[in-house]
Amino acid sequence: MKPSNLLGYVFALIGASFFSLKAVLVKLAYQPADGLALNALEPITLLALRMGFALPVYVLIAILILRRGQKVSLKPALLAFLLGILGYYLCAYLDFTGLKYITAQLERILLFTYPIFVVILGAIFFGGKITGSGILAIILAYTGIGIIFAGGDITTGENLWLGTAMIVATAFLFAMFQLFAKGLINQMGSWLFTCIAMSGAAMSVLVHFTVQTSLSDGMAAALDLPARIYWLGLAIALFSTLIPSFLVNIAIDKIGSQATSVLAMVGPVTTIIAAIVLLGEPFGWIDAIGTAVTIFGIGLYTFFDRKHQPIKAIPLKT
């Protein structure tokens, strides 16, 4: 194996693991401590911290790419900006809100099924075909989730079904984002597309935050938070947004999108371990069986069906 390929595999594993820590970091921010009650922190406030820390870096990288001579016309740039609002603002807001109601482990398993929506929506709207292995993958993925809901320990929360609906909606909308973004990514390159899309999302988040706080107690009151929330916001921006997005881009360049997607299956395992250690979430044998079946279903699609699909998703994250 070439050293560059080995580096690509390492970067893909680290990127997938870092992305998967997002749910755990968000749940840590929602925990009661330092005068904040359980779930007292508003999701949009945490998102504003995440995007506020990340936005300058994405803007800087976009400027450097453009200064190196890469050309992009107004229309694709605007489309990338708008898609970022869908994929990185709306999806992220639903995701962060859903995490107030369900465990980090359940969120990751539900979100991990978004390729199933890519298959279904691609077949309905984009001329794709659902093969036999694709149908089997869908059945296995949702059988695993059914097993978890039937008797698992991780299906707990103050409003389980609302949180579940929000995360499933996130997976659905993110699949739409993937399908619409494919052509732009091929045209602009994943680095520039990600920077422009993230900038669109960040600006939307900051506008949302400004409007919401102006209608309540004001921005100063909303940002009067314990120091640990700012550190967690920085950690989410750095370790679950900036670093993994760059690592995944490098991995795609070195080993391809399919291999990178395969290695992304380490994500749910990372979330499970971190949630047990850092959050004290339960995880029983029924959860283990259901998770294994779901991961196997998604893995089956990734290994055997993706190469037959005319619509191919690029592995970007929320």
Domain count, the chain: 1
Does residue 200 fall inside a structural domain? yes
Q: What is the pLDDT of residue 83?
A: 94
Does residue 317 fall inside a structural domain? no
Does residue 316 fall inside a structural domain? no
Domain region containing 70: 3-308
Return phi, psi of residue 242, to 5°.
-65, -60
Of the candidates 124, 55, 42, 57, the one whose C-alpha atom is nearest the C-alpha of residue 88 is: 55
pLDDT in tens, 102-156: 999 999 999 999 888 888 888 888 777 777 877 888 899 999 999 999 999 999 8
pLDDT in tens, 23-47: 999 999 999 988 788 888 999 999 9
Does residue 62 fall inside a structural domain? yes
Does residue 110 fall inside a structural domain? yes
Does residue 318 fall inside a structural domain? no
Q: What is the pLDDT of residue 277?
A: 96
**Per-residue confidence at 299, pLDDT binned at 50, 70, 90?**
confident
Does residue 64 fall inside a structural domain? yes
pTM beyond 0.85, yes or no? yes
How many whole angstroms from its chain centre is CA 24? 13
